[in-house]
């Protein structure tokens, strides 16, 4: 029988450690003999590159509705071109951000969560979604030097509130990210290994 792939996403506020831990998780899984790959949103595809260049431009923000549609578009492209093919080969795919980032960021900007879910209906649901929880006050300190709209404490608070809704309804598994990198990495690996035992 063909091995089934597993799709995991890592979510969190800006500088919460998503890239650090998505990459460490892939290394840790590989060390244990799993075939794991790292991927990220916006994707490295054509649409993802367009999004990085034109939509994430801090100075010329586009309306949140346009942002949400572009992220959803890139997500479908990402799923079709990178995620699904890897899953079909039986790999573990670890995505640095996924649909919860759209829900949290564009939701925090005032868009209706149901509409964001609706435009993301074609995006493959992850098997496991982890939320690295770091207090907004801490991330604001970590990114103090970056001049971005997202860095504002109030913004980070609103984004965290939306993420926490999904922690509360069980769609995101929280990990306390306000500890050393080794402690956070150990917890994330434990959550994932526990999940892999059950699938």
- Specify the stretch interacting with ligand ATP by CB under 6 A; choose among 17-25, 45-53, 60-68, 110-118: 17-25
In the complex with ligand ATP, the residue whose CB is nearer, 11 or 92, is 11
- Candidate residues 19, 38, 76, 81; the one interacting with ligand ATP per rule CB under 6 A: 19
Name which of 30, 24, 77, 25 is nearest 50 in CA terms: 77
The interface with ligand ATP within residues 170-199 (CB under 6 A) comprises 177, 180-181, 184
Using CA atoms, how far residue 128 sits from 54, 56, 58, 196, 199, in Å, is 30, 26, 31, 10, 11
- Candidate residues 12, 48, 107, 174; the one interacting with ligand ATP per rule CB under 6 A: 12
User: CA angle, 88 as apex, 82 and 94 as ends, to 5°?
Assistant: 50
In the complex with ligand ATP, the residue whose CB is nearer, 55 or 184, is 184
- Specify the stretch interacting with Mg ion by CB under 5 A; choose among 18-26, 73-81, 108-116, 147-155: 18-26
- CA 96 – CA 129 distance, rounded (Å): 10
Q: Are 24 and 111 in contact (CB under 8 A)?
A: no
Q: How far is the CB of 121 from Mg ion (least distance, A)?
A: 26
- Candidate residues 18, 24, 75, 78; the one interacting with ligand ATP per rule CB under 6 A: 18
| C-alpha distance across the termini of the chain, in Å | 15
Pick from Mg ion, ligand ATP, none: which does 169 bind, CB < 5 to 8 A by kind?
Answer: none
- CA 133 – CA 63 distance, rounded (Å): 27
In the complex with ligand ATP, the residue whose CB is nearer, 5 or 134, is 134
- What b/e sequence results for 165-192 when a residue is b if at least 16 CB atoms lie within 10 Å of its CB, and e otherwise? ebbeeeebbbbebeeeeeebbebbbebb
- CA 197 – CA 28 distance, rounded (Å): 16
- Candidate residues 11, 14, 74, 151; the one interacting with ligand ATP per rule CB under 6 A: 14
Contact between 178 and Mg ion by CB under 5 A: the answer reads no
Contact between 56 and ligand ATP by CB under 6 A: the answer reads no
Contact between 19 and Mg ion by CB under 5 A: the answer reads yes
The interface with Mg ion within residues 44-63 (CB under 5 A) comprises none
- CA 119 – CA 122 distance, rounded (Å): 8
């Amino acid at each position: 029988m063909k091995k089934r792939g597993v799709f995991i996403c890592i979510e969190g506020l800006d500088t919460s450690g998503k890239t650090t831990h998505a990459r460490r998780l892939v290394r840790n899984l590989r060390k244990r003999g799993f075939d794991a790959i790292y991927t990220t949103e916006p994707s490295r595809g054509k649409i993802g590159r367009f999004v990085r260049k034109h939509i994430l431009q801090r100075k010329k923000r586009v309306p949140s509705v346009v942002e949400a549609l572009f992220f959803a578009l890139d997500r479908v492209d990402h799923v079709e071109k990178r995620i699904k093919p890897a899953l079909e080969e039986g790999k573990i795919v670890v995505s640095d951000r996924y649909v919860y980032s759209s829900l949290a960021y564009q939701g925090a900007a005032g868009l209706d969560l149901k509409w964001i879910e609706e435009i993301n209906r074609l995006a493959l649901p992850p098997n496991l979604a982890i939320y690295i929880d770091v207090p907004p006050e801490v991330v604001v300190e970590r990114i103090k030097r970056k001049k971005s709209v997202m860095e504002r404490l109030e913004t980070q608070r609103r984004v965290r509130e939306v993420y926490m809704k999904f922690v509360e309804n069980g769609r995101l598994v929280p990990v306390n990210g306000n500890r050393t990198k080794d402690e956070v990495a150990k917890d994330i690996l434990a959550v994932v290994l526990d999940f892999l035992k059950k699938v």
